[in-house]
Amino acid sequence: MKKPAVFMTGAGGGMGYESFKAMLPDIGKLYDLIILVRNSEKNHQLFDPHEGMPGLTIKYGDLLNHNDVDECIRLSNLCLHIAAFVSPQADYHPKKAMQNNYGSVRNLIESIHAQGKQDTYKFVYIGTVAETGDRMPPIHWGRVGDPIKPSMFDYYAVSKVAAERYVIESGLKYWVSLRQTGIIGPAMAEINDAIQFHNCLDNVLEYCSDRDSGKAMRNLCAFDADGSLDGSFWGHIYNIGGGLSCRVDTYTMYKIMYGEIGIKNIDYVLDPKDYATLNFHGQYYLDSDKLEDYLHFRSDSMQYFYDAYLKKLGAAKPFGRIICKLPGGQKLMGSIIKGTFKKLLDSEHGTKHFIDANMEDHIDAYWGSKKKWEALPDKASRMDHFTDWDKVVPIDHGYDESKPEKELSLDDLKGAAKFRGGECLSESMEQGDWTSKQSFRCAFGHTFEASPRLVLEGGHWCPECERKSWNYGARAKVDPFFAQVWNPLHDPDEMREYPKEVTELDV
C-alpha cells in the first residue's frame, strides 16, 4: 500500500522547523514529506543536510507561484499550511501580509480544486489568536465561536481572518483551522521590536511552545497516516494552547523574567506609560483541551520560555545578578535595561512615538484616549492590576449550543443572526447542514452569504464590514453578540472608525 504524502509549507520558520524536526523519524516510514521553501541561504543551511533522505522531497520555490504549488499538491494528499508573513514584520508591510497570507491560501485551495481533489485532500490551516483580538480582563477567557475582532492596525490578523474565511468556505471536505496562540521559545526571547510595548501589562495569553506546536503537527500527520485520527476532527476550528501551565499575565511574566536576574522591584524596569492598555490580543482558553484530546502534544510550561530568556542573556545574567546585589544595584540595572527600550519606544510603531506625535487614532486605539494615558500612574506597582484570573465571563453565541449539530435548524440560524444585529434571509435550510451557505443581512444593510460553520463556530460575520474598517464602536451599538467583547473594555462614546488600507480583494 502506498504511503500517504504530506506537503508542508513554512518549514523554514519557527513553528515549521520544529514541525520538520519532530517529523524526521516518520519520514519515509509513516508518510513521505514534501516541503516547499524559498531559495534562501538560510533554508539551504537548514535543509541541504537532509537532501537525499528517503521519503523527503525538498523543493525551492514560492507559494505565490502557481506551478510550484500545483506540483506539491499533485504529489501529496495532506497539506500543513504553516507558512505565514507574521508580526511584527506584517505591521510594517500590510499589503505584503495580505498577499502572502491570503494569496497563498487561495493558491493552495484553487490547486486542490483544479486537480479534482476537493473530496479527498486534507488541508490544515494555521490561524491565529489575533483573529479574536483584544480580550483584556474581565473578558479574558474565550473559545472558538467568540466574535472575530482583529485589533486596530493589526494587518497580520486582518489577513488571517480573510484567509480563514476562505478555508472554511472552500468547499473542501477535509479542512481544519488551528488558531495558534503566542509561541514561546528562543524566537520569542529574541524579539526586539516596538510590538512588545503593545502587549498590555494586564493582558493574558495561554501560550504554546514551539516544540509542542511541532509535536502537534507531527502527531496530526502520524495519527492520520495510521488511521487513529478520529474523523470528527475534520471540518472544525480549534484553539492551540498549552493549557494551565502556559497561562500567564504579562505583568507576572515580566516580574518572573526580571526577577531571574535579581530585580525584585519591577518599578525599576517598567513604566506604565510605555505600555498600551488596549488593542493587543490574547486570552485564556476554555476549549484548548479539545485539540489536546485529538493530538496529545502538550509537555512544556512557561518555564521553557524563562529558560530560553536566560540562555539568551548569556554572560549578562551573572553580571546582572552581581550588580543587583550591590546597594542601588537594582535601580542601576533597571536603568540600563530601560535604556535599551528607548529606540524601540521612539520608533515608527513605538508607543512613545504615538504620544509624542499626537497620533490621535493610535492613542484612542491603544489607550482609549489621551486623558486615559495621562491618568496612568508613574509606577507599575501603583497600577490597579486585575487579579481575579479564574473568573469566567461567558460569551453568548446566540444559539442553543447544547443541541447536537445534526439538529441545527433554520430557526436557530435566524435567532443567531438577530443576536448579531442582522437577519437570516434564507427561506429554507436542511436540518443539521452546517456547510451550505445561507443568505444574511448585517445591521448596516450589507447582504452576504455564509455557512453556519463560518458564523456560529467561526465567529465570523459580515465580510463587507470586515473589509472596510474597524468600526467597532458603531457595531457594538447594534450587534449584541459583538457588544459582549467591546463594551466591557470601552466607554460608550468611543466611536472612532479606523479605515483599512488593504483587503483580500486587493490580492
- Under a CB-based contact definition with an 8 Å cutoff, are residues 473 and 486 in contact? yes
State the Cα–Cα distance between residues 108 and 507, nearest whole angstrom.
14
- Under a CB-based contact definition with an 8 Å cutoff, are residues 343 and 187 in contact? no
State the Cα–Cα distance between residues 201 and 469, nearest whole angstrom.
27
Average pLDDT, the chain: 97
pLDDT digits (tens, 9 = 90+) for 332-387: 999 999 999 999 999 999 999 999 999 999 999 999 999 999 999 999 999 999 99
pLDDT digits (tens, 9 = 90+) for 157-192: 999 999 999 999 999 999 999 999 999 999 999 999
- Enumerate the β-bridge partners of residue 27: 31
- Under a CB-based contact definition with an 8 Å cutoff, are residues 281 and 154 in contact? yes
- Enumerate the β-bridge partners of residue 42: none
The domain ranges of the chain are: 1-397, 409-458+461-501
- The residue-averaged pLDDT of 410-418 equals 98
pLDDT at 426: 98
pLDDT digits (tens, 9 = 90+) for 230-254: 999 999 999 999 999 999 999 999 9
pLDDT digits (tens, 9 = 90+) for 455-494: 999 999 999 999 999 999 999 999 999 999 999 999 999 9
- The residue-averaged pLDDT of 197-203 equals 98
State the Cα–Cα distance between residues 183 and 213, nearest whole angstrom.
8
Residue 34's φ and ψ, nearest 5 degrees, are: -115, 130
pLDDT bucket at 304, cuts 50 / 70 / 90:
very high
Torsion on CA atoms 248, 251, 256, 257, rounded to nearest 10: 100
Whether omega for the bond prior to residue 88 falls within 30 degrees of 0, making it cis, is yes
In Å, how far from its chain's centre is CA 23?
Answer: 23
In Å, how far from its chain's centre is CA 413?
Answer: 27
pLDDT at 122: 98
pLDDT digits (tens, 9 = 90+) for 62-91: 999 999 999 999 999 999 999 999 999 999
pLDDT digits (tens, 9 = 90+) for 339-352: 999 999 999 999 99
State the Cα–Cα distance between residues 421 and 486, nearest whole angstrom.
15
State the Cα–Cα distance between residues 310 and 302, nearest whole angstrom.
13
Answer positive or negative: Cα dihedral of 303, 304, 306, 307: positive
DSSP state of 31: B
The cell for 380 is 507599575
Torsion on CA atoms 366, 370, 375, 380, rounded to nearest 10: 30
pLDDT at 1: 62
Residue 441's φ and ψ, nearest 5 degrees, are: -130, 130
DSSP state of 455: I
Strands 78-81 and 122-128: parallel
pLDDT at 316: 85
State the Cα–Cα distance between residues 453 and 30, nearest whole angstrom.
32
Task: Transcribe 32-97 into DSSP letters.
Answer: EEEEEE---HHHHHHHGGGTT-TTEEEEE--TT-HHHHHHHHHT-SEEEE-----TTHHHH-HHHH
What burial letters (b/e) apply to 422-461, b meaning 16+ CB within 10 Å? bebebeebeeebbeeebebbbbbebebebbbbbbbbbbbb
- The residue-averaged pLDDT of 497-506 equals 96
- Under a CB-based contact definition with an 8 Å cutoff, are residues 125 and 163 in contact? yes
**Secondary structure (H, E, C), 423-472:** EECCCCCCCCCCCCCEEEECCCCCEEEECHHHHHHCCCCCHHHHHHEECH
How many Å from the N-terminal Cα to the C-terminal Cα in the chain? 41
- The residue-averaged pLDDT of 250-262 equals 95
- Enumerate the β-bridge partners of residue 59: 36
Give the residue ranges of DSSP H helices in 176-278: 186-189, 210-225, 250-259
Nearest to 420 by CA among 347, 483, 339: 483
- The residue-averaged pLDDT of 218-234 equals 98
pLDDT at 63: 97
Count of Cβ atoms closer than 10 Å to residue 395 Cβ: 20
Nearest to 456 by CA among 124, 144, 135: 144
pLDDT at 2: 82
pLDDT at 209: 98
pLDDT at 315: 87
State the Cα–Cα distance between residues 32 and 54, nearest whole angstrom.
8
What burial letters (b/e) apply to 238-250, b meaning 16+ CB within 10 Å? bbbbbbeebbbbb
* Residue owning grid cell 497580520: 156
Q: What is the CATH number of domain 1-397?
A: 3.40.50.720
Burial of 108 (0-12, 13-18, 19+ CB in 10 A): buried
Residue 490's φ and ψ, nearest 5 degrees, are: -135, 150
